[in-house]
Amino acid sequence: MITVAPTGAETPKASAPALPTRLDELVSTARACSAAGAAMIHVHLRDDHDRSCLDVGRLADAVAALRAETDLVVQLSTGGGVSDSFADRLAVLDAEPDSCSLTCGTVNFGDSVFANPWPLIVELYTRCRERGILPEFELFDLGHVATLHRLLDEFGPPPGGRVHADLVLGVPGGLPGTTSAVVAMVAALPAHATWSATGIGRSALPVALAALSAGGHLRVGMEDTLTFARGRPVRDNAELVERAATLAELAQRPAMPAARARAFLGLDAGVTAG
Ligand code: KMH
Ligand code: ZN
């Protein structure tokens, strides 16, 4: 399964003009990435001043537009940007996506701190369970895996039963984007958990190759990677999805179509609360 994370909250549009920051750009990116092999899209929106936007109305419009124009699994970020409030991050679920990201711990994030205290994690998880939204657990460090165990032990499985994580490696402050970090994280995951991996910046390729060889899924996109090769900026998100699909094909694990990803994630019949 290939997830595309096309925008993120941090990169200014001015420094990467191919970044889809308007809704029409997001939808055309989603279409192109779907054609290239993506099955899920991880969405951050921007406001009219290029800042992270967690406005529920705009998020709901984005969910509706992506559903109308593609069959991608729509995942909204509850991480937002490092300055977004916990209240705004919790309210993201009101836009009723198929899935949402749920980061399992605080991490230094370059010069900033991406804050994810335990009470926020619990509140996000409880609301996911109540509303039947599938959380994807974002894990930047081994301590986050321990917190995922604690969450499942104390509150039970996610709606639909699928425990799916994304290993986010190579953030300055988290685990590096190396094969040994992938192996350590996977060894610590709960039994039966499924996972994708994301390598930030130049760790995109090593992490993708490690994930493919270790049985994981892939997340790629301009949220995480802006350089395609040394000195050569990424053309657009579809280029990164095409490369991921090519690697997956070479590994004899071809890209999973969106309909199959929906079934794989337990979303085909609509996840049920509880
Ligand atoms: N922008 C980062 C601070 C997520 O989407 O859940 C958080 C992030 C994780 O991107
Ligand atoms: Zn994100």
pLDDT at 272 over 70: no
**Separation of alpha carbons 228 and 241, rounded Å:** 11
Is the shortest distance between the CB of 138 and ligand 1 below 6 Å?
Answer: yes
Is the shortest distance between the CB of 137 and ligand 1 below 6 Å?
Answer: no
When pLDDT is averaged across residues 231-247 and rounded to a whole number, the result is: 98
Q: How many CA atoms lie within 13 A of 31 on its CB side?
A: 8
pLDDT score at 32 = 98
Q: Is 122 helix (H, G, I), strand (E, B) or coil?
A: helix
**98 — pLDDT class (breaks 50, 70, 90):** very high
pLDDT score at 236 = 98
**171 — pLDDT class (breaks 50, 70, 90):** very high
Which-ligand-closest: CA of 10? 1
Which residue has the least CA distance to atom 7 on ligand 1?
Answer: 79
Question: Which residue out of 3, 44, 77 has the highest number of ligand 1 atoms within 8 Å of its CB and is therefore the one to mutate?
Answer: 77
Report the predicted TM-score, pTM, of the whole model to 2 decimal places. 0.97
Q: How far is the CA of 5 from the centre of ligand 2 (A)?
A: 7
When pLDDT is averaged across residues 188-195 and rounded to a whole number, the result is: 98
pLDDT score at 271 = 55
The rounded mean pLDDT for the chain is 97
- pLDDT tens digits, 52-64: 999 999 999 999 9
pLDDT at 189 over 60: yes
**165 — pLDDT class (breaks 50, 70, 90):** very high
CB within 8 Å of 228: residues ≥ 6 apart = 234, 235, 239, 240, 243
Is the shortest distance between the CB of 7 and ligand 1 below 6 Å?
Answer: no
Which residue has the least CA distance to atom 4 on ligand 1?
Answer: 79
pLDDT score at 78 = 99
Domains and CATH numbers, the chain: 2-264 (3.20.20.70)
Q: How far is the CA of 8 from the centre of ligand 2 (A)?
A: 5
Q: What is the percent of the chain with per-residue pLDDT over 70, rounded to a whole number?
A: 98
Is the shortest distance between the CB of 3 and ligand 1 below 6 Å?
Answer: no
